[in-house]
Amino acid sequence: MPPLNINIDYLANHPELAPELGKLFYDEWHPIYDQRGQSFDDVVSTCRERANIGSLPLALLGFQEEQLVGTVSLKVQDLEIRPEPTPWLAGLFVLPKWRRMGVASILIGRAIEEARRLKLKRLYLWTTSAESLYVKLGWSEMERTDYCDQQLVIMRRQI
């Protein structure tokens, strides 16, 4: 495999990809969406809302050459059971064939740069499966809780 040369751009510059993101998200996290009462169309709609550059919510897309390899978002809110902490790093998704190659770390790093550009002081996230990755990248545990029949950890990071 050639070395990674990930180009990151805003969803705002590729709005036609919102339905593809919605499908990736829905396929990956459909049990959570089902419990929230969100349909596939709802998920696509929330993806379209992330087509911003100067304000939240915004989504970043990672490309290897012209191929979409992953995405990450910054959002005002991402966990309705915890309305207070804000803003959130959310929707980190790397396409399966690109996992374990550093794409997630690149996307997270760029999201933190965006948070800095937007003068955000800290970010929050929740994860059911990637806690060790986030710890390596400077995030710390805030709380553990159950949500939609899954155990998750809520984490934070100063910007």
State in words which class domain 6-120 has: alpha beta
Continuous segment of H or E residues that includes residue 133: helix 131-136
CA 61 to chain centre: 10
Secondary structure (DSSP) of 28-61? HHHHHHHHHT--HHHHHHHHHTT--SSSSSEEEE
pTM of the predicted protein model: 0.92
- Residues 37-46: what's their mean pLDDT? 93
Decide if pLDDT at 1 tops 70. Answer: no
Where do the structural domains in the chain lie, given as residue ranges?
6-120
Decide if pLDDT at 47 tops 80. Answer: yes
